[in-house]
Amino acid sequence: MILVTIYLLIAVSAIVHRLRRRDAAPFRMPLWPLPPLIALAGVGLSLVEQAPSDLLQTAVLVAIALVYALAYLQRRRDLRSASDSSMMESEN
């Protein structure tokens, strides 16, 4: 079940990344957006076949990943942009 959750998070992150950064794609993905959509369909199919306890475990893992992304990663991004702006000011 953890593997299914990892596939879910990777497919969603690939889609979100491409939608947010259309101008600067750091990697190429053949047949875009077909691979992440196929992965999401496979994840959906496997989740339909799971027991309710497995679905609860998946929901907890996704919630933990979301809290991590919103709290820690956003804070890092804010700190990095603040340090970049202070470096630019010191150069001038």
Q: Report the pLDDT value the prediction gives residue 41, as an integer from 0 to 100.
A: 95
Range of the domain at 85: 2-91
Residue 81: alpha-carbon gap to chain centroid: 20
Q: Report the pLDDT value the prediction gives residue 37, as an integer from 0 to 100.
A: 94
**Which pTM value belongs to this model?**
0.59
Per-state percent for the chain, helix, strand, coil, to nearest 5 = 80, 0, 20
88, pLDDT greater than 80 = no
Helices (H) and strands (E) in the chain, counts: 4, 0
Counting the structural domains of the chain, the total is 1
Q: Report the pLDDT value the prediction gives residue 35, as an integer from 0 to 100.
A: 92
